[in-house]
Structure 1
Amino acid sequence: MIAEETSCTAQPAPLFFLVDPLDGTRDFLAGSEQYCVNIGLIQGDRPIAAALAAPGLGRVWAAGTTAREAPIREGRPGAFRPVSVRAAPADGLVALVSRLHGDSDTDACLDRLPIAERRVTSSALKFCLIAAGEADLYVRCVPTMEWDTAAGDHVLTMAGGRVVGPDGATITYGHHARFYRNGPFAALASAAYRDALTLPQQSAVSYFDRRRAGAAVEAAGQD
């Protein structure tokens, strides 16, 4: 298992978990419902199974070869149903944007698309809301870590979406040499949106860079 606490020393096995036990910590502490628990099972460099629970919203998503969602009632999941991404709305796209981590590169990417609404959403919930057909894309140009994204990535991918990096290829996992840091990415309901995006090649100076230099900093969150 690889999480924030083990990322400096743990090497990925052929099959390993990426876990974030509380994604959206600041939202949780502020009393917001937009936090979640992320568990992704990685084989090689891509997820093969995932679960993402949002107790505050009463929702849980899971994916193996298909993506599903269930309500949470009295601490337990109810019946699961399949979820899938939606076609592009005729009146414009809904982009999910971070509550705490906006930046000019992300704004520039979104300006190239027919965005009708920028909806503020925290944590890895963004992936699952796109998977459930409630939004269309999420662009992230500032740093995140692999445990922030692996579970949501797999749910979205199995729902028919894609998570791509600056080269347009699907992002990968298990990068110990960079302390499991992600580069810029876009989570998309449709690969058709990819061609209009120009993601920067690298994220800004960040948690990863300061940590590598030996500074004690708070972990970057998927807020």
Structure 2
Amino acid sequence: MSLSLAELMNRAAIAAAEVILEVYHRPVLAMEKPDGSPVTEADQRAEAIILEHLAATGLPVLAEESVAAGRIPELGTRYFVVDPLDGTKEFLKRNGEFTVNIAYCENGHPISGVVLAPATGEIYWGGPDGAFGGRLAGDAIEAVAPLRVAAGKQPLRIVASRSHGHAALAELCDTLEVAEDVSVGSSLKFCLLAKGEAQLYPRFTPTSEWDTAAGQAVLQAAGGVVLGMDGLPLTCGHREDGFLNAWFVAAASEKLALRALAEMLRFADA
């Protein structure tokens, strides 16, 4: 019996997580890529395993370490976007806030995605059939439950990046009367919104498409949105921009996203 796309992506993420944890529990040597970001054996081995799993589909894969090595496929209209170890800095700090990200895209739009946190066993996935979360028990997923954003919930909680804070964040929190900010690393920020534990994630610093595509797919499947500075859903496949995102906002509702975006644009013009 052939696997569904969600099952294939989940299995690929689980296999990658096993390798990542093997490296995580022993001394790790970090190397520096040309852009100054760190890379480890875990990143490289995890990506190789994911590529092996996804090869059965015959679809192109835009993967972080492959791109860093100059291997950029022609993407076409259907492809995967992969970050084998999102949050390498968190991995090296050993705080557990790192993830495996796999997204499936059509015409530049993330349609399905899986985000897995190897250190905790938390796994989140979403697509046309909805969004779900669970926990790994060996190679199986248990305690599966549907995910839904908490749009309109008060007081407002905002998700900030532990490693990439921005001076405008405090002012935005004051303007939107945010009651609490929650710091967490990697694409887990999108997952906090997807499961209703926060409502807003404004991003003021650059990210790559493989950092956001999987989390975006999960959040959208849970009822949320991720908008770029043009007010449109964030898209992938922008080779001309080096596959980099500009500022964006993820939110539990389009109304909240547009309100935050208006304030972010004011900061950008200042």
TM-score, length-normalised on structure 2?
Answer: 0.70
- After TM superposition, the structure 1 = structure 2 runs for residues 55-204 of structure 1, keeping only pairs within 5 Å, are 55-65=118-128, 66-90=130-154, 92-197=155-260, 198-200=263-265
| Secondary structure, counterpart of 1:100 in structure 2 | coil
Q: 1:175 to 1:73 in 2, by over 3 A?
A: same
Q: Quick one: distance in 2 between partners of 1:201 and 1:147? A: 27
Deviation at 1:114, TM superposition (A): 1.8
| Secondary structure, counterpart of 1:115 in structure 2 | coil
- Using the TM superposition, name which of 52-61 and 137-146 deviates more: 52-61
Q: Quick one: distance in 2 between partners of 1:88 and 1:55? A: 31
Q: Give the aligned partner of residue 44 of structure 2.
A: none
Q: What amino acid is aligned across from residue 68 of structure 1 in structure 2?
A: F
**Which structure ranks higher in relative contact order (CA pairs < 8 Å, sequence separation ≥ 6)?**
1
C-alpha contact (below 8 Å) 2:190/2:219 kept by paired residues: yes
Q: What amino acid is aligned across from residue 123 of structure 1 in structure 2?
A: S
Q: What amino acid is aligned across from residue 44 of structure 1 in structure 2?
A: N
Q: Quick one: distance in 2 between partners of 1:11 and 1:111? A: 44
Q: Quick one: distance in 1 between partners of 2:74 and 2:238? A: 9
Match of 2:101 among 33, 38, 45: 38
C-alpha contact (below 8 Å) 2:101/2:115 kept by paired residues: yes
Deviation at 1:194, TM superposition (A): 2.5
Q: What amino acid is aligned across from residue 6 of structure 1 in structure 2?
A: S
C-alpha contact (below 8 Å) 1:141/1:200 kept by paired residues: no
For residues 31-75 of structure 1, the C-alpha deviation after alignment (integer angstroms, 9 at most, x for no partner) is: 111111000011111012111111212210111211111111235
- What CA RMSD, in Å, does the superposition of the two structures yield over aligned residues? 1.9
| Secondary structure, counterpart of 1:154 in structure 2 | helix
C-alpha contact (below 8 Å) 2:108/2:235 kept by paired residues: yes
Question: Whose helix proportion is higher, 1 or 2?
Answer: 2
Q: 1:99 to 1:168 in 2, by over 3 A?
A: same
Amino-acid identity (%): 37
- Using the TM superposition, name which of 153-162 and 5-14 deviates more: 5-14
| Secondary structure, counterpart of 2:202 in structure 1 | strand
Q: Give the aligned partner of residue 4 of structure 1.
A: 64
C-alpha contact (below 8 Å) 2:168/2:267 kept by paired residues: no
C-alpha contact (below 8 Å) 2:200/2:257 kept by paired residues: no
- Using the TM superposition, name which of 74-83 and 55-64 deviates more: 74-83
Q: Quick one: distance in 1 between partners of 2:181 and 2:267? A: 23
Q: Of the two, which has the highest radius of gyration?
A: 2
Q: Quick one: distance in 1 between partners of 2:125 and 2:244? A: 23
| Secondary structure, counterpart of 1:196 in structure 2 | helix
For residues 14-40 of structure 1, the C-alpha deviation after alignment (integer angstroms, 9 at most, x for no partner) is: 111110011111111221111110000
| Secondary structure, counterpart of 2:175 in structure 1 | coil
TM-score, length-normalised on structure 1?
Answer: 0.84
Q: Quick one: distance in 2 between partners of 1:157 and 1:192? A: 14
